[in-house]
């Protein structure tokens, strides 16, 4: 049974709308990650997207709506590596694997990292509910898992939350301070060196005492 012309037009319109929304969000990510929320205007987003401001307001209620949409998408992606930590895996390899994935995200998604950092630096006015309802329970669960591994003698004693903070700080630095890293590293591959350095550092921190 063939679609009616009306159904074909509706599907085409939907594809166009999806493409335009993606175009607007990608442009907004570039502008927000460069100028921050307060320094960004709808005119800047419109210019970056090549879409008129009235057309942007057809898809979104305003700058805050676009920003919150980006942050909501980001949270799902940002937390995926922590969700992927396997309670039944080798504890040291699971933690080092998490460090590796976070560093890969800093390399592949620097704009997203800066978007999140800018939101937190402002006091998380739009992300506070997510931090409380989504991030905190996940961190609590991960902390309990790490504590169980420590109690079983599979990891050296550390404070689980400070361990996570250290992982976030050392990996996301390469995205949030990318301009500084590029100047200081010159032509060297910062991420290749960072991966070896961070893996060695966290292994030494977490390897349990054989005795």
The predicted-structure confidence for 113-144, as pLDDT tens digits, reads as follows 998 898 898 898 888 888 899 999 999 999 99
Q: Which domain holds residue 90?
A: 64-206
Instruction: Choose one of 60, 75, 100: the last residue of a domain.
Output: 60
Same domain? For 96 and 186 the reply is: yes
Q: How many domains does the chain have?
A: 2
Report the C-alpha gap between 131 and 123 in whole angstroms.
11
Shared domain for 79 and 152, answered yes or no, is yes
Same domain, 183 and 122: yes
DSSP 126-152: TTHHHIIIIIHHHHHHHHHHHHHHHHT
- Considering 60, 81, 104, which residue would you say is the last residue of a domain? 60
The CATH number that applies at residue 6 is: 1.10.10.60
Specify if 100 maps to a domain.
yes
Helix/strand number for the chain, H first, E second: 11, 0
Using alpha carbons, select from 46, 42, 43 the residue that is nearest to residue 62.
42
Q: Is the pLDDT of residue 8 over 70?
A: no
Band (209; pLDDT cuts 50, 70, 90): confident
Residue 170 falls inside a structural domain: yes
151 part of a folded domain: yes
For residue 48, being part of any structural domain is answered with yes
Give residue 6's pLDDT: 47
Classify residue 211: in a domain, yes or no: no
Question: Are 136 and 159 found together in one domain?
Answer: yes
Could you give the C-alpha distances from 71 to 125, 167, 211, in angstroms and in order? Answer: 12, 21, 46
CB atoms within 10 A of CB 144: 12
pLDDT > 90 fraction of the chain, expressed in percent and rounded: 67
155 and 54 assigned to the same domain: no
């Amino acid at each position: 049974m063939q679609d009616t012309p009306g159904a074909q037009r509706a599907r085409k319109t939907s594809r166009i709308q999806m493409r335009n929304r993606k175009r607007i969000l990608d442009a907004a990510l570039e502008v927000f990650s460069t100028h921050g929320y307060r320094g960004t205007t709808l005119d800047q987003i419109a210019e970056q997207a090549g879409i008129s401001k009235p057309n942007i307001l057809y898809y979104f209620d305003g700058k805050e709506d676009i920003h919150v949409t980006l942050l909501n998408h980001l949270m799902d992606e940002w937390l995926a590596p922590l969700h992927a930590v396997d309670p039944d895996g080798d504890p040291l390899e699971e933690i080092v694997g998490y460090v590796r994935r976070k560093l890969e995200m800093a390399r592949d998604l620097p704009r997203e990292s800066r978007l999140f950092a800018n939101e937190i630096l402002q006091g998380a006015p739009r992300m506070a509910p997510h931090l409380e309802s989504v991030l905190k329970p996940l961190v609590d669960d991960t902390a309990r898992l790490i504590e169980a591994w420590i109690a079983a003698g599979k990891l050296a004693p550390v404070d689980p939350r400070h361990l996570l903070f250290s992982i976030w700080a050392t990996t996301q630095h390469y995205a949030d301070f990318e301009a500084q890293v590029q100047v200081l590293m010159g032509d060297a591959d910062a991420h290749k060196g960072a991966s070896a350095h961070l893996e060695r550092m966290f292994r030494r921190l977490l390897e349990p005492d054989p005795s």
